[in-house]
Structures are given as C-alpha cells and as structure tokens.
Amino acid sequence: MKILHISAECFPIAKVGGLADVVGALPKYQKDLGATSSVVMPYYNNTFTQNNTFETLHDHYISLGHEYYHFKVLKLTNHQLGFDLFCIDIPDLLYTEFVYSNADTKRFLAFQIATLDWILTLKATPDIIHVHDHHAGLIPFMMSCSFKYASLKNIPTVLTIHNAQYQGWFSHALANLIPPFNYEKTGLLDWDGSINSLAAAIKCAWSVTTVSPTYLEELKIKANGLEALLQHESKKCTGILNGIDWNVWNPETDERLLKNFSKTTVISGKKANKKWLCKEFNLDIKKPLFAFIGRLVGEKGADLFSDIFEQALTENKISILLLGSGHAATEVELAAIPKENFNTFIGYDEKLAHIMYAGADFLLMPSRVEPCGLNQMYSLRYGTVPIVNATGGLKDTIIDIDEKAGFGIVHDGVTVEKVTTAIHKATNYYHAKAFKKNLKRIMAIDHSWNNSAAAYVHLYKSLKH
Ligand code: ADP
C-alpha cells in the first residue's frame, strides 16, 4: 500500500510545532507495517534545504486563476529520513525562510495544485492520499470536484486535524483560483459565508482523524465554528493518539544531552543535565525545576504565565525556566519578572528543548486547547513529571498522582489559582519518597508510534475497495 502524506511541515525539514514531528515520524513507523509512506511538502529556504541535495523529478507550470507559476518537484537524494521526501518548489511563492505568512491563501493553494498536477503525471498513483490540517485541506475537494483531477476521484483521502483553530478561510471572490469545478458543488467549500479549507476537507475526505480521542469529542462542542459540521460528520471521524519518535527522543542516545541516561541511571543523568541548565540560566540546582517549552499563545495559557510564575515563585522554593516565543505582549510581561529563580530563552532552540526535557523536574502544560500534545510524552520519556490541564490529548495521556496508577499532576481548568495550586502540589511531591521511584515508572510508559501507526494502517485498509 502506497501512502502519500501532504503537509506544510515535516521534521527535520521545517518545524513550527507538533505537526512537523508527526509527519516526520509517522511514515517511518508505517513503513515497518508494510505501508510505503512518503511526504510532499513545500520547498522552503532553510538550513535543511540549503544543506541537502535534491533531484528534479518534474518541471512545469501551474495556473492560479489567470496567473502562471513555474514549479518543480524535487526529491531528496539521500535516505536519511527513512522515507521518500518530495518538495514542491515554487520560487515565487514558497521559497521563503518562514513556513507561514499573511499571504498563505495563494501560497498553499499553489502548493496543493502543483502537488495534484504532479500526481496526475505519475504512472503509479498513491493508494491513499493523507492530508494534514487546512494547508492541504482543499485537496480532497479538488480530487472529487475539479474536472482536471477526475482521474484521481477514486483514491481514498484521509484528513488529520492537528489543530482546528486555524481553518484556511478565504473569500468566495477567490474561488477562481481553484482549478475549474462544478459550481453546484460550491457548498462543499463553504462554511459560514466564506471558503473554509478545513471545513471542505472535513466534508470531502473519505475519513477524518483527530490527534487524540478526547480532542474529537471536544471539537463537537468547541471547534472555532465547525462544531455542527463535526457532529454531522462524526461517523467518518476517529481519534487516534499521536506517538513520539522513539529513536529521536531517546535519553539513552540523544546527542543533544549533556549526559545520556536510562531508567537505571535516571537520577544521576537528570542531575547532570539540570546542573548545566542551572549554570547556564543562573538557577539554584537544589530547588525543583519547572520548565515550559512551547508557543506563547492563548491556547497554551501563556497570557496567564507572568501572574502564575510570580505567584508560584513567591509561594514555593522553586525555579522556573521557559523556552518559547509568541505574543509580543506575553514576551514583554515575562521580561518584567525579576530574574531570581526564573529565566527565559525567548526563541526556538531544539537542542535546549531536549536538555530541558532531560534536566527539568516538572514540565508545565497549562493548555486551554491541546489537540494531542507531544511535550508531555517527551517529558515522560525523559523522566520529567508533567503538570497538565485536563484537556484534549493531555487528558488521554496523563493520570494524576492521586488517582489509581497515577504518575503526573492534572488540574481541571486554567486559572492562576488552579495552576499555582498544581505547582504547590508538585513541590510537595518533589520532596516525597515516591517521587524518585515515579521517574523510572514514567520513563517506561510506551508512547512510541507502534500502536498509532497500526491504527492508521487499519483505517487505510478499511477505505480500500
Ligand atoms: P504545538 O504543535 O501546539 O506547538 P505540540 O506539543 O504538539 O504543540 O508540539 C510542540 C513541539 O514543538 C515539541 O516538539 C516542542 O518541543 C517543540 N517546541 C515548541 N516550541 C519550541 C521552542 N521554542 N524551542 C524548541 N522546541 C520547541
């Protein structure tokens, strides 16, 4: 079975968040299950594309309304990823240093059209086309309604929703950018008066998955306007929990760490990494270290961070280290917190993230929305106790220490009070006997892709005629 994943992000080529990690890992694990998966993504101007060589497989023009754009399909020549990577090179639109911008309607429409134009030329077409989020969301519509893609109509399509907040809206006045289609089908593109790429994908894909079972249930109640649609289409929707790349995220071999460790050496291994962090960020190694890694946006609870941190630092003898970037107002608020037992790295740093998962004692995730969340799984793998709000995938993966077989700290809702209470509980737990024993236990929890990759393959098989 040949699967083609279509996505705006893929680790390690271009990553903004969890979408990249999933698209960069899932194909490898599907391969182990006998499915040949490959990935198509835009060709951005970044370190990966500059440092690797690509061969040109296809060279042509696409039309976007009345405009023509030159595009190439490039294939990565080395085999480092464990799957084939195809990049759509449209120099005028996609070859940028950033992944997302304010001109994304045109950029991602061009990406999707070029991808389908290329698929039309293939002798062996994929058995399944798997699109990720709204950036590839018009593909199922175009395959079923655009005249030029009629020959692709019978290829089953799967949409995975990683984040339903962003939906790829644009005006019906731009409908002429989509390759000509039967205008009676315009309703499939529409949601609430505008073209909505994610809604079109939910309507037209043969099957829809969300990245955790709880997220699917939540979306039926709160989905940035798409609730009724998800309820209506619920029969073709499944929640499949993401996994993590067990080889990339392995504290025994992770080259980014100061010291590697296993379940048996977790205490000394974590200490060495914590020592480096404390030295680098001027923190006290004797105090429990709470970390946050991620985007500074409302979904992650970031607007409350300065209040939470100031109160938690006053009430407890702890240190807090934050790695992330996002809303300018939040960055300013964080900069105003005195650098006593507190520090930040504002920016993106993959190596530092790994060291923080390894060296911190607790990982904070007071997310209001968390479709799956990968950080809590990385944190478990590296023996760091996650403190999470009971939402989405966090609810599906973390059990509170007060519950039977519990191993993390779970709060119900995101307020300064609730999060600081959870931090206080964690501080007490840090000094309890059970704490060190728990680290070995959490490291043994299996969140590798094995189960989830098999669930996807099972789903693909159910769609084949
Ligand atoms: P989301 O996709 O909503 O941002 P996820 O938990 O699904 O959240 O994935 C976040 C991924 O991005 C994790 O691999 C996390 O370590 C990484 N990450 C987020 N922000 C940063 C940052 N500033 N530096 C390094 N890694 C980051």
Query: Do the domain assignments include residue 260?
Result: no
CA distance 196 to 163: 14
- Assess whether the previous peptide bond of 288 is cis (omega < 30° from 0): no
Residue 361's beta-bridge partner residues? none
Same domain? 301 vs 178: no
Q: Choose among 112, 271, 132, 258: nearest CA to 179.
A: 112
CB-ligand 1 contact for 375 (6 Å cutoff)? yes
Contact 74, 85 (CB under 8 A): no
Q: C-alpha 384: how far from its chain's center?
A: 20
CB-ligand 1 contact for 230 (6 Å cutoff)? no
* Residue whose structure tokens are 């799957």: 83
CA distance 208 to 220: 13
HSE value, Cβ hemisphere, 13 Å, CA-based, for 123: 0
CA distance 263 to 441: 8
What number does the ligand 1 atom closest to the CA of 375 have?
6
Confidence tier at 48 by pLDDT (50, 70, 90): very high
Domain span at residue 121 reads 2-243+450-464
Same domain? 87 vs 215: yes
CA distance 20 to 26: 10
Query: Do the domain assignments include residue 382?
Result: yes
CB-ligand 1 contact for 353 (6 Å cutoff)? yes
Same domain? 230 vs 312: no
Same domain? 114 vs 20: yes
* Ligand 1, pocket-test mutation among 16, 21, 388, most atoms within 8 A of CB: 21
Q: What ranges make up the beta strands (E) of 167-260?
A: 169-170, 190-191, 194-196, 207-210, 237-239
CB-ligand 1 contact for 298 (6 Å cutoff)? no
HSE value, Cβ hemisphere, 13 Å, CA-based, for 454: 3
- Give the Å distance between the CA of 349 and the centre of ligand 1: 10
Q: What is the mean pLDDT of residues 302-331?
A: 98
- Supply the pLDDT for residue 85: 98
What pLDDT, in 10s, does the model give residues 335-366?
Answer: 999 999 999 999 999 999 999 999 999 999 99
Q: What is the mean pLDDT of residues 104-131?
A: 98
HSE value, Cβ hemisphere, 13 Å, CA-based, for 300: 23
Same domain? 167 vs 276: no
Same domain? 198 vs 299: no
Same domain? 218 vs 74: yes
Confidence tier at 465 by pLDDT (50, 70, 90): low
CATH of the domain at 271: 3.40.50.2000
Query: Do the domain assignments include residue 248?
Result: no
Query: Do the domain assignments include residue 257?
Result: no
CB-ligand 1 contact for 379 (6 Å cutoff)? no
Same domain? 393 vs 458: no
Confidence tier at 160 by pLDDT (50, 70, 90): very high
Same domain? 439 vs 454: no
What number does the ligand 1 atom closest to the CA of 300 have?
3
Percentage of residues in the chain having pLDDT higher than 90: 97
- Give the Å distance between the CA of 17 and the centre of ligand 1: 5
Q: What is the dihedral of CA 401, 278, 303, 310, to 10 degrees?
A: 80
Query: Do the domain assignments include residue 458?
Result: yes
Q: What ranges make up the beta strands (E) of 283-397?
A: 289-296, 319-326, 342-346, 362-365, 385-389
Q: What is the mean pLDDT of residues 122-143?
A: 98
Confidence tier at 197 by pLDDT (50, 70, 90): very high
Same domain? 378 vs 291: yes
The count of structural domains within the chain is: 2
Relative to beta strand 190-191, strand 194-196 is antiparallel
CB-ligand 1 contact for 21 (6 Å cutoff)? yes
Query: How much is the mean pLDDT over the chain?
Result: 97
CA distance 85 to 31: 14
Which residues touch 434 (CB under 8 Å, ≥6 apart)?
401
Say whether pLDDT at 31 is over 90: no
Say whether pLDDT at 464 is over 90: no
Confidence tier at 226 by pLDDT (50, 70, 90): very high
Query: Do the domain assignments include residue 251?
Result: no
- Supply the pLDDT for residue 352: 98
Q: Choose among 306, 408, 321: nearest CA to 357.
A: 321
What number does the ligand 1 atom closest to the CA of 372 have?
7
Same domain? 222 vs 271: no
Query: Do the domain assignments include residue 305?
Result: yes
Q: What is the mean pLDDT of residues 427-433?
A: 97
Query: Do the domain assignments include residue 31?
Result: yes
- Supply the pLDDT for residue 391: 97
- Supply the pLDDT for residue 32: 82
Same domain? 383 vs 277: yes
What number does the ligand 1 atom closest to the CA of 350 have?
25
CB-ligand 1 contact for 321 (6 Å cutoff)? no
* Ligand 1, pocket-test mutation among 352, 374, 388, 397, most atoms within 8 A of CB: 374
- Give the Å distance between the CA of 264 and the centre of ligand 1: 28
CB-ligand 1 contact for 373 (6 Å cutoff)? yes
- Give the Å distance between the CA of 214 and the centre of ligand 1: 20
Q: Which residue has a Cα nearest atom 22 of ligand 1?
A: 348
